[in-house]
Every structure is written in C-alpha cells, then in structure tokens.
C-alpha cells in the first residue's frame, strides 16, 4: 500500500498545535459573527477565496488525520503534560500510549471520525451551503473533543464540565449573539 517508509517528524502534540488545530480554524472561523465599529457583523464565506480556505482546511484534515496512525511520541522529549501534582487533569504521554496500545480500534475510530467530518466539509464546500457549514463546525468540534476527552484529559470529570457549561452560559447571557470566538476587529 505504501511506496516507501513513513517517518514521523513531530509528536502528536506538535501535530495538533501546528497542523490539525490551525487547519481546523479554516473551518471553525468560516462562519460566525464578529464585532466591528459598525456593530456585530455576520461572517460567512462569500468569495471563491473564502471557500478555498475552507477547502484547504478540509483537505488538510482529511489527509492529515492519517498521520495520527503513524506511531510517534505523544509529546516532545521531556514534556510530561499537566499529568503530575494535585491539579493534574491530563494523562502523561506514557499513559496515552498505553491506552492506544490497549485498544487501537478506538484510536482508529476517533481518527476516522475526524476525517469523516473533513469529508463532510468538502461536500459542503462543493455545494456552497452556508447553513450546513454551521453543522460541520459543530461536528468537527465534537470529533476533536471526543478524542481529547478519551485520551488527553479524562481526569476532567462531570464536575469540570458542569462548571465549564455554567461559565459559558454566563458568557452567552452577557454577549448579545453568544459567539465565544468573537474577536474585535478594526475596520
């Protein structure tokens, strides 16, 4: 199936930070609202360039997800995550590795879930369906979070999520459109 050897360059953590996460932003940030001097303005793809940016995110995620199948360290050398001390909520790289080795089927299913959402995004780009773009963003968020909750911070139990939800609700009550990612933009 392969034409040559596959050699990992970076850890999973770096792959997330420098590739998966920024590419996902091309999809997450494609719709929403933003605060300008004119008030709150809807953000949605209008030009070919806007749609291409989403396509770049989707292709990168659809293909990039497979890179998670190459065995690689979970963190750069010496990085133990937030896995020690009283407030530790993250698994150590050794714990994550052990979990994947115990059940590679789950790991692969989480990867498949990510690339499936990316394919959904590609389809939406093809049809230029702005409404469905909102759903894609939500599905993408779910695919990321499901894997993180299972492998990265299972220590953050129900209580943590209740607190987080309460905080978000308060935030939504304060902001007129409830957009957590609204960034003030100068125009």
The interface region with ligand HEC, picked from 32-40, 50-58, 125-133, 145-153 by CB under 6 A, is 145-153
Give DSSP secondary structure letters for 159-172.
Answer: HHHHHHHHHHHHHH
Residue 74 binding ligand HEC, by CB under 6 A:
yes
Per-residue x/- track, 10-49, ligand HEC (CB under 6 A): --xx--xx--xx--x-------------------------
Binding mask 102-131 for ligand HEC (x = CB under 6 A): --------xx--x-----------------
Residues 64, 65, 70, 75: is their CA dihedral positive or negative?
positive
- Residue span binding ligand HEC (CB under 6 A) among the ranges 30-38, 119-127, 148-156, 157-165: 148-156
Angle subtended by helix axes 104-127 and 93-102, to nearest 10: 90
Distances (CA, A) of 102 to 19, 71, 92, 106: 27, 14, 15, 9
Strand (E) positions, 46-139?
none
Site size toward ligand HEC, by CB under 6 A: 23
3-state secondary structure of 100: helix
Smallest distance, Å, CB 86 to ligand HEC? Answer: 19
Q: Choose which of 31, 96, 125, 136 interacts with ligand HEC (CB under 6 A).
A: 96
Indicate which single residue of 124, 125, 133, 140 sits in contact with ligand HEC (rule: CB under 6 A): 140
Q: Which of 145, 138, 118, 124 is nearest to 61 (CA)?
A: 118
From 81, 121, 125, 133, residue interacting with ligand HEC (rule: CB under 6 A): 81
What DSSP character marks residue 16? I
Q: CA dihedral defined by 147, 152, 158, 164, rounded to 10 degrees?
A: -90
Map tokens 């360059």 to a residue: 9
Shortest CB 38 distance to ligand HEC, Å: 30
Q: Which residues of the shown chain bind ligand HEC in the complex (CB under 6 A)?
A: 12-13, 16-17, 20-21, 24, 68, 74-75, 81, 93, 96, 110-111, 114, 140, 143-144, 147-148, 151-152
């Amino acid at each position: 199936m392969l034409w040559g050897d596959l050699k990992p360059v970076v850890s999973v953590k770096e792959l997330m930070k420098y590739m998966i996460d920024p590419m996902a932003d091309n999809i997450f940030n494609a719709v929403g609202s933003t605060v300008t001097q004119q008030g709150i303005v809807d953000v949605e793809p209008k030009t070919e360039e806007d749609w291409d940016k989403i396509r770049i995110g989707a292709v990168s995620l659809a293909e990039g997800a497979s890179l998670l199948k190459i065995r690689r360290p979970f963190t750069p050398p010496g990085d133990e995550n937030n896995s020690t001390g009283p407030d530790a909520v993250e698994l150590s790289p050794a714990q994550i590795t052990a979990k994947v080795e115990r059940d590679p089927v789950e790991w692969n299913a989480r990867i498949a879930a990510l690339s499936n959402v990316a394919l959904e995004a590609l389809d939406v780009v093809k049809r230029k369906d702005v409404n469905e773009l909102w759903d894609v963003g939500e599905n993408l968020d779910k695919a990321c979070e499901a894997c993180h909750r299972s492998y990265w911070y299972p220590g953050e139990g129900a209580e943590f999520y209740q607190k987080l939800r309460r905080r978000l609700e308060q935030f939504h009550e304060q902001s007129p459109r409830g957009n957590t990612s609204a960034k003030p933009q100068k125009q």
